[in-house]
Amino acid sequence: MRLNDENDEEEGPKTMSHCSIGHLQQEKSFVIVGYALTSKKVESFLKPKLEGLARNKGILFVAIDQNRPLSDQGPFDIVLHKLTGKEWRQILEEYRRTHPEVTVLDPPDAIQHLHNRLSMLQCVADMNLSDTYGKVGVPRQLVIKRDSSSIPDAVTKAGLILPLVAKPLVADGSAKSHELSLAYDEYSLQKLEPPLVLQEFVNHGGVLFKVYIVGEAIKVVRRFSLPDVTKRELSKNAGVFRFPRVSCAAASADDADLDPSVAELPPRPLLERLAKEIRRRLGLRLFNLDIIREHGRRDHFYVIDINYFPGYGKMPGYEHIFTDFLLSLVQSRYKKRSV
Protein backbone atom coordinates (compact mmCIF):
# COMPACT_ATOMS: atom_id res chain seq x y z
CA MET A 1 0.00 0.00 0.00
CA ARG A 2 1.07 3.54 -0.65
CA LEU A 3 0.20 5.69 2.29
CA ASN A 4 1.02 9.17 1.11
CA ASP A 5 -1.75 11.10 -0.55
CA GLU A 6 -0.19 14.37 -1.50
CA ASN A 7 -1.09 13.94 -5.16
CA ASP A 8 -4.85 13.76 -5.26
CA GLU A 9 -5.58 15.35 -8.61
CA GLU A 10 -8.55 13.86 -10.36
CA GLU A 11 -7.99 11.62 -13.32
CA GLY A 12 -10.05 9.13 -15.34
CA PRO A 13 -10.06 5.54 -14.10
CA LYS A 14 -7.67 2.88 -15.42
CA THR A 15 -9.14 -0.55 -15.91
CA MET A 16 -7.72 -3.59 -14.18
CA SER A 17 -7.04 -5.33 -17.46
CA HIS A 18 -3.76 -3.43 -17.72
CA CYS A 19 -2.31 -4.67 -14.47
CA SER A 20 -2.92 -7.72 -12.29
CA ILE A 21 -4.02 -7.36 -8.66
CA GLY A 22 -1.40 -9.83 -7.53
CA HIS A 23 1.37 -7.75 -9.03
CA LEU A 24 0.14 -4.53 -7.43
CA GLN A 25 -0.39 -6.23 -4.07
CA GLN A 26 3.02 -7.87 -4.21
CA GLU A 27 4.66 -4.53 -4.55
CA LYS A 28 2.53 -3.31 -1.65
CA SER A 29 2.00 -0.12 -3.57
CA PHE A 30 -1.78 -0.06 -3.72
CA VAL A 31 -4.66 -0.43 -1.31
CA ILE A 32 -6.93 -2.99 -2.93
CA VAL A 33 -10.64 -2.54 -2.25
CA GLY A 34 -12.84 -5.44 -3.40
CA TYR A 35 -16.43 -4.42 -3.93
CA ALA A 36 -19.64 -6.43 -4.11
CA LEU A 37 -22.38 -4.00 -5.06
CA THR A 38 -25.47 -4.03 -7.24
CA SER A 39 -25.02 -2.54 -10.69
CA LYS A 40 -27.21 0.40 -9.61
CA LYS A 41 -24.88 1.07 -6.71
CA VAL A 42 -21.79 0.77 -8.87
CA GLU A 43 -23.26 3.36 -11.19
CA SER A 44 -24.19 5.85 -8.45
CA PHE A 45 -21.13 5.35 -6.24
CA LEU A 46 -18.18 4.21 -8.29
CA LYS A 47 -18.13 7.22 -10.57
CA PRO A 48 -15.08 8.03 -12.71
CA LYS A 49 -14.18 10.94 -10.44
CA LEU A 50 -14.04 8.66 -7.40
CA GLU A 51 -12.02 5.98 -9.20
CA GLY A 52 -9.63 8.57 -10.61
CA LEU A 53 -9.05 10.28 -7.29
CA ALA A 54 -8.70 6.93 -5.53
CA ARG A 55 -6.09 5.77 -8.00
CA ASN A 56 -4.09 8.92 -7.48
CA LYS A 57 -4.15 8.24 -3.76
CA GLY A 58 -3.03 4.64 -4.28
CA ILE A 59 -6.41 2.91 -3.99
CA LEU A 60 -7.78 0.45 -6.53
CA PHE A 61 -11.36 -0.76 -6.66
CA VAL A 62 -11.72 -4.33 -7.89
CA ALA A 63 -15.06 -6.02 -8.61
CA ILE A 64 -15.71 -9.20 -6.63
CA ASP A 65 -16.94 -12.09 -8.76
CA GLN A 66 -19.84 -13.60 -6.85
CA ASN A 67 -19.54 -16.85 -8.79
CA ARG A 68 -16.05 -17.55 -7.45
CA PRO A 69 -14.91 -18.24 -3.88
CA LEU A 70 -13.98 -15.00 -2.16
CA SER A 71 -10.75 -16.46 -0.79
CA ASP A 72 -9.53 -17.16 -4.35
CA GLN A 73 -9.88 -13.46 -5.19
CA GLY A 74 -7.85 -10.45 -4.23
CA PRO A 75 -5.92 -10.38 -1.98
CA PHE A 76 -7.90 -7.46 -0.63
CA ASP A 77 -7.12 -4.90 2.04
CA ILE A 78 -10.76 -3.86 2.32
CA VAL A 79 -14.04 -5.40 1.21
CA LEU A 80 -16.88 -3.01 0.50
CA HIS A 81 -20.31 -4.52 0.06
CA LYS A 82 -24.03 -3.99 -0.11
CA LEU A 83 -25.81 -7.14 -1.17
CA THR A 84 -28.65 -8.89 0.59
CA GLY A 85 -29.43 -12.54 1.34
CA LYS A 86 -28.45 -15.13 3.90
CA GLU A 87 -26.02 -16.87 1.59
CA TRP A 88 -23.95 -13.74 1.01
CA ARG A 89 -23.94 -13.00 4.74
CA GLN A 90 -22.55 -16.45 5.45
CA ILE A 91 -19.87 -16.09 2.79
CA LEU A 92 -18.77 -12.80 4.34
CA GLU A 93 -18.78 -14.11 7.91
CA GLU A 94 -16.67 -17.08 6.85
CA TYR A 95 -14.31 -14.75 5.00
CA ARG A 96 -13.99 -12.49 8.05
CA ARG A 97 -13.09 -15.52 10.17
CA THR A 98 -10.47 -16.79 7.77
CA HIS A 99 -9.13 -13.35 6.77
CA PRO A 100 -8.92 -11.27 9.95
CA GLU A 101 -6.40 -9.02 8.21
CA VAL A 102 -9.08 -7.74 5.80
CA THR A 103 -11.46 -4.93 6.85
CA VAL A 104 -15.00 -5.84 5.83
CA LEU A 105 -17.18 -2.75 5.54
CA ASP A 106 -19.33 -3.33 7.44
CA PRO A 107 -19.75 -6.60 9.38
CA PRO A 108 -22.94 -8.33 8.17
CA ASP A 109 -24.37 -8.85 11.66
CA ALA A 110 -24.06 -5.11 12.34
CA ILE A 111 -25.86 -4.30 9.10
CA GLN A 112 -28.66 -6.70 10.04
CA HIS A 113 -29.80 -4.25 12.74
CA LEU A 114 -30.78 -1.85 9.99
CA HIS A 115 -32.85 -4.40 8.11
CA ASN A 116 -35.63 -4.20 10.65
CA ARG A 117 -37.25 -0.82 11.28
CA LEU A 118 -37.70 -1.59 14.96
CA SER A 119 -34.11 -2.65 15.79
CA MET A 120 -32.88 0.13 13.49
CA LEU A 121 -34.17 2.86 15.81
CA GLN A 122 -33.83 0.99 19.10
CA CYS A 123 -30.28 2.15 19.71
CA VAL A 124 -31.32 5.79 19.26
CA ALA A 125 -34.19 5.29 21.70
CA ASP A 126 -31.84 3.61 24.20
CA MET A 127 -29.38 6.48 23.95
CA ASN A 128 -31.89 9.01 25.24
CA LEU A 129 -29.65 11.74 23.90
CA SER A 130 -30.29 15.09 25.53
CA ASP A 131 -27.81 17.87 26.15
CA THR A 132 -27.51 21.62 25.92
CA TYR A 133 -27.61 21.38 22.13
CA GLY A 134 -30.93 19.54 22.01
CA LYS A 135 -32.81 16.33 22.40
CA VAL A 136 -32.84 13.41 19.95
CA GLY A 137 -35.49 10.71 20.06
CA VAL A 138 -37.51 8.49 17.78
CA PRO A 139 -41.23 8.84 16.99
CA ARG A 140 -43.52 6.61 19.03
CA GLN A 141 -44.15 3.45 17.08
CA LEU A 142 -45.86 0.10 17.16
CA VAL A 143 -45.13 -3.15 15.34
CA ILE A 144 -47.94 -5.13 13.77
CA LYS A 145 -46.56 -8.57 12.99
CA ARG A 146 -49.71 -10.15 11.57
CA ASP A 147 -53.49 -9.84 11.49
CA SER A 148 -54.32 -6.42 10.10
CA SER A 149 -57.78 -6.56 11.72
CA SER A 150 -56.08 -6.07 15.09
CA ILE A 151 -54.69 -2.67 14.05
CA PRO A 152 -57.44 -0.27 15.25
CA ASP A 153 -57.41 -1.82 18.74
CA ALA A 154 -53.63 -1.99 18.90
CA VAL A 155 -53.32 1.68 17.92
CA THR A 156 -55.87 2.75 20.56
CA LYS A 157 -54.23 0.63 23.26
CA ALA A 158 -50.78 2.02 22.46
CA GLY A 159 -52.24 5.55 22.54
CA LEU A 160 -50.63 6.48 19.21
CA ILE A 161 -51.71 9.84 17.85
CA LEU A 162 -52.87 10.13 14.20
CA PRO A 163 -51.76 10.57 11.47
CA LEU A 164 -49.48 7.52 11.30
CA VAL A 165 -46.80 6.54 8.83
CA ALA A 166 -47.03 2.86 7.94
CA LYS A 167 -43.69 1.33 6.96
CA PRO A 168 -42.86 -2.26 6.04
CA LEU A 169 -41.08 -3.81 9.04
CA VAL A 170 -38.34 -5.18 6.83
CA ALA A 171 -35.99 -2.59 5.31
CA ASP A 172 -33.88 -4.75 3.05
CA GLY A 173 -33.48 -2.35 0.15
CA SER A 174 -36.19 -3.98 -1.95
CA ALA A 175 -38.70 -1.72 -3.69
CA LYS A 176 -41.42 -3.11 -1.42
CA SER A 177 -39.52 -2.10 1.71
CA HIS A 178 -39.80 1.54 0.58
CA GLU A 179 -43.61 1.41 0.05
CA LEU A 180 -44.79 3.77 2.74
CA SER A 181 -48.25 5.13 3.50
CA LEU A 182 -49.75 7.91 5.52
CA ALA A 183 -52.90 7.02 7.43
CA TYR A 184 -55.41 9.58 8.66
CA ASP A 185 -57.46 7.01 10.57
CA GLU A 186 -56.59 3.67 12.16
CA TYR A 187 -59.38 1.71 10.44
CA SER A 188 -57.99 2.28 6.96
CA LEU A 189 -54.72 0.68 8.05
CA GLN A 190 -56.49 -2.68 7.91
CA LYS A 191 -56.05 -2.51 4.14
CA LEU A 192 -52.28 -2.78 4.51
CA GLU A 193 -50.31 -5.95 4.73
CA PRO A 194 -48.32 -6.66 7.94
CA PRO A 195 -45.58 -6.98 9.10
CA LEU A 196 -45.60 -3.21 9.55
CA VAL A 197 -44.30 -0.47 11.76
CA LEU A 198 -46.84 2.24 12.55
CA GLN A 199 -45.05 5.43 13.43
CA GLU A 200 -46.46 8.74 14.62
CA PHE A 201 -46.13 11.38 11.94
CA VAL A 202 -44.17 14.34 13.32
CA ASN A 203 -44.80 17.74 11.71
CA HIS A 204 -41.42 19.11 10.67
CA GLY A 205 -42.05 21.87 8.14
CA GLY A 206 -41.50 19.71 5.06
CA VAL A 207 -37.71 19.56 5.30
CA LEU A 208 -35.52 16.78 6.61
CA PHE A 209 -31.82 16.47 7.26
CA LYS A 210 -29.83 13.63 5.73
CA VAL A 211 -26.76 13.06 7.82
CA TYR A 212 -24.17 11.05 5.91
CA ILE A 213 -21.53 9.25 7.92
CA VAL A 214 -18.29 7.81 6.56
CA GLY A 215 -16.24 6.63 9.51
CA GLU A 216 -15.71 9.76 11.57
CA ALA A 217 -16.72 12.18 8.84
CA ILE A 218 -20.18 13.71 8.85
CA LYS A 219 -21.96 15.67 6.13
CA VAL A 220 -25.48 17.06 6.41
CA VAL A 221 -27.80 18.00 3.56
CA ARG A 222 -31.38 19.27 3.47
CA ARG A 223 -34.03 17.41 1.52
CA PHE A 224 -37.67 18.04 0.84
CA SER A 225 -39.99 15.88 2.86
CA LEU A 226 -43.72 15.45 3.48
CA PRO A 227 -45.60 18.65 4.35
CA ASP A 228 -47.12 19.16 7.79
CA VAL A 229 -50.58 17.77 8.45
CA THR A 230 -52.81 20.30 10.17
CA LYS A 231 -55.48 19.41 12.75
CA ARG A 232 -58.10 20.65 10.29
CA GLU A 233 -56.81 18.38 7.52
CA LEU A 234 -56.76 15.47 9.91
CA SER A 235 -60.35 16.01 10.96
CA LYS A 236 -61.56 16.35 7.37
CA ASN A 237 -59.73 13.38 5.88
CA ALA A 238 -59.81 9.64 6.26
CA GLY A 239 -58.01 6.86 4.46
CA VAL A 240 -54.53 5.62 3.83
CA PHE A 241 -52.36 7.07 1.07
CA ARG A 242 -49.24 5.67 -0.48
CA PHE A 243 -46.56 8.32 -0.89
CA PRO A 244 -43.47 8.38 -3.12
CA ARG A 245 -39.80 8.38 -1.97
CA VAL A 246 -39.85 12.15 -1.68
CA SER A 247 -36.67 12.63 0.36
CA CYS A 248 -34.61 10.17 -1.71
CA ALA A 249 -34.85 12.33 -4.82
CA ALA A 250 -31.51 13.83 -5.74
CA ALA A 251 -33.08 17.33 -5.63
CA SER A 252 -31.58 19.06 -2.63
CA ALA A 253 -33.44 21.58 -0.51
CA ASP A 254 -30.17 23.29 0.38
CA ASP A 255 -30.71 26.21 -1.98
CA ALA A 256 -34.45 26.56 -1.57
CA ASP A 257 -35.99 29.66 -0.05
CA LEU A 258 -37.02 28.14 3.26
CA ASP A 259 -38.29 29.44 6.58
CA PRO A 260 -35.02 29.80 8.55
CA SER A 261 -36.51 28.11 11.63
CA VAL A 262 -37.19 25.03 9.48
CA ALA A 263 -33.97 25.16 7.47
CA GLU A 264 -31.53 25.63 10.34
CA LEU A 265 -29.27 22.58 10.48
CA PRO A 266 -29.21 20.54 13.68
CA PRO A 267 -26.28 21.61 15.92
CA ARG A 268 -23.06 19.96 14.79
CA PRO A 269 -21.97 18.81 18.28
CA LEU A 270 -25.31 17.05 18.70
CA LEU A 271 -24.92 15.23 15.39
CA GLU A 272 -21.35 14.30 16.23
CA ARG A 273 -22.41 12.77 19.52
CA LEU A 274 -25.28 10.94 17.88
CA ALA A 275 -23.16 9.57 15.04
CA LYS A 276 -20.39 8.48 17.37
CA GLU A 277 -22.82 6.63 19.63
CA ILE A 278 -24.52 4.87 16.73
CA ARG A 279 -21.13 3.87 15.33
CA ARG A 280 -20.14 2.46 18.69
CA ARG A 281 -23.42 0.77 19.52
CA LEU A 282 -24.08 -0.75 16.09
CA GLY A 283 -20.49 -1.25 14.95
CA LEU A 284 -21.18 0.51 11.64
CA ARG A 285 -19.06 2.98 9.70
CA LEU A 286 -21.07 3.58 6.55
CA PHE A 287 -24.61 4.85 6.99
CA ASN A 288 -26.89 7.83 6.91
CA LEU A 289 -29.59 9.10 9.24
CA ASP A 290 -32.82 10.85 8.35
CA ILE A 291 -33.48 13.44 11.03
CA ILE A 292 -36.41 15.82 11.41
CA ARG A 293 -36.98 18.78 13.71
CA GLU A 294 -40.39 18.95 15.32
CA HIS A 295 -42.00 22.04 13.81
CA GLY A 296 -41.86 24.91 16.25
CA ARG A 297 -39.52 23.15 18.69
CA ARG A 298 -36.05 24.25 17.76
CA ASP A 299 -34.18 21.69 19.87
CA HIS A 300 -36.37 18.62 19.39
CA PHE A 301 -35.13 16.14 16.83
CA TYR A 302 -36.29 12.71 15.73
CA VAL A 303 -34.37 10.06 13.86
CA ILE A 304 -36.84 8.40 11.51
CA ASP A 305 -34.60 6.20 9.35
CA ILE A 306 -31.07 4.79 9.20
CA ASN A 307 -29.69 3.40 5.94
CA TYR A 308 -26.63 1.26 5.37
CA PHE A 309 -24.23 2.37 2.62
CA PRO A 310 -26.64 5.03 1.33
CA GLY A 311 -26.43 6.97 -1.91
CA TYR A 312 -23.03 8.57 -1.22
CA GLY A 313 -23.02 9.81 -4.82
CA LYS A 314 -25.48 12.46 -3.60
CA MET A 315 -23.22 13.55 -0.74
CA PRO A 316 -21.20 16.65 -1.69
CA GLY A 317 -17.46 15.94 -1.79
CA TYR A 318 -17.88 12.24 -1.08
CA GLU A 319 -14.95 11.32 -3.31
CA HIS A 320 -12.41 13.01 -1.02
CA ILE A 321 -14.10 11.94 2.19
CA PHE A 322 -14.42 8.33 1.11
CA THR A 323 -10.88 7.92 -0.18
CA ASP A 324 -9.43 9.56 2.95
CA PHE A 325 -11.50 7.18 5.03
CA LEU A 326 -10.21 4.12 3.15
CA LEU A 327 -6.63 5.29 3.63
CA SER A 328 -7.20 5.93 7.32
CA LEU A 329 -8.44 2.37 7.76
CA VAL A 330 -5.31 0.92 6.22
CA GLN A 331 -3.07 3.30 8.14
CA SER A 332 -4.57 2.34 11.47
CA ARG A 333 -4.16 -1.37 10.64
CA TYR A 334 -0.59 -0.75 9.61
CA LYS A 335 0.14 1.07 12.87
CA LYS A 336 -1.39 -1.74 14.91
CA ARG A 337 0.78 -4.31 13.15
CA SER A 338 3.99 -2.39 13.69
CA VAL A 339 3.60 -1.92 17.47
Ligand X SMILES: O=P(O)(O)O[C@H]1[C@H](O)[C@@H](O)[C@H](OP(=O)(O)O)[C@@H](OP(=O)(O)O)[C@H]1O
Ligand Y SMILES: Nc1ncnc2c1ncn2[C@@H]1O[C@H](COP(=O)(O)OP(=O)(O)OP(=O)(O)O)[C@@H](O)[C@H]1O
6 is in an annotated binding site: no
Q: Which does 180 bind (CB under 5 to 8 A by kind): ligand Y, ligand X, Mg ion, none?
A: ligand Y
Q: Is 314 in the site for ligand X (CB under 6 A)?
A: yes
The site map against ligand X for 44-73 (x = CB under 6 A) is x-----------------------------
Residue 167 phi, psi (nearest 5): -125, 140
204 is in an annotated binding site: yes
- Sheet of strand 59-63: strand arrangement: 59-63, 31-37, 78-82, 103-105
Among 190, 224, 311, 320, contact with ligand X (rule: CB under 6 A)? 311
Of 118, 102, 104, give the one whose Cα is nearest residue 25. Answer: 102
Residues 272-291 that bind Mg ion (CB under 5 A): 290
Element (DSSP H or E) covering residue 231: helix 231-236
Q: How far is the CB of 169 from ligand Y (least distance, A)?
A: 12
Kindly state whether residue 304 participates in binding ligand Y, applying the rule CB under 6 A. yes
Q: Beta-carbon neighbour count of residue 202 at 10 Å?
A: 22
Kindly provide the b/e burial profile for residues 59-84, where b requires at least 16 CB atoms within 10 angstroms of the residue's own CB: bbbbebeeeeebeebbebbbbbbbbe
Handedness of CA 236, 239, 243, 247 (dihedral sign): positive
Closest approach, Cβ 173 to ligand X, in A, equals 3
Of 247 and 323, the one with the shorter C-beta distance to ligand Y is: 247
- Region near ligand X per CB under 6 A, out of 3-11, 262-270, 305-313, 320-328: 305-313
Using rule CB under 6 A, residue 225 touches ligand X: no
Contacts of 73 (CB under 8 A, 6+ apart): 34, 62, 64, 65
Residue of 111, 124, 162, 165 that binds ligand Y (CB under 6 A): 165
Tell me how far apart the alpha carbons of residues 47 and 56 are, in angstroms, rounded to a whole number: 14
113 annotated binding-site participant: no
305 labeled binding residue: yes
Q: How far is the CB of 306 from ligand X (least distance, A)?
A: 9
113 binds ligand X (CB under 6 A): no
**Of 289, 299, 309, 315, whose CA–CA distance to 123 is shortest?**
289
Residue nearest to ligand X (CB): 311
- Known binding residue 290? Answer is yes
Residue 213's φ and ψ, nearest 5 degrees, are -125, 130
User: CA-to-CA distance for 102 and 96, rounded, in angstroms?
Assistant: 7
Measured at the CA of 320, the angle between CA 318 and CA 323, to 5 degrees, comes to 100
Which residue lies nearer to ligand X by CB, 195 or 311?
311
The answer to whether residue 245 forms part of the interface with ligand Y (CB under 6 A) is: yes
In DSSP notation, 118-171 reads HHHHHHHHHHTEEETTEEEE---EEEE-S-GGGHHHHHHHHTPPSSEEEEESB-
Contact flag: residue 290 with ligand Y (CB under 6 A): yes
| Contact range with ligand Y by CB under 6 A, out of 50-58, 77-85, 202-210, 256-264 | 202-210
In the annotated binding site for 1D-myo-inositol 1,3,4-trisphosphate, the residues are 41, 82, 178, 210, 307, 311
In the annotated binding site for ATP, the residues are 117, 167, 199-210, 225
Give contact residues for ligand X (rule: CB under 6 A).
44, 173, 210, 248, 288, 307, 310-311, 313-314
In the annotated binding site for Mg(2+), the residues are 290, 305, 307
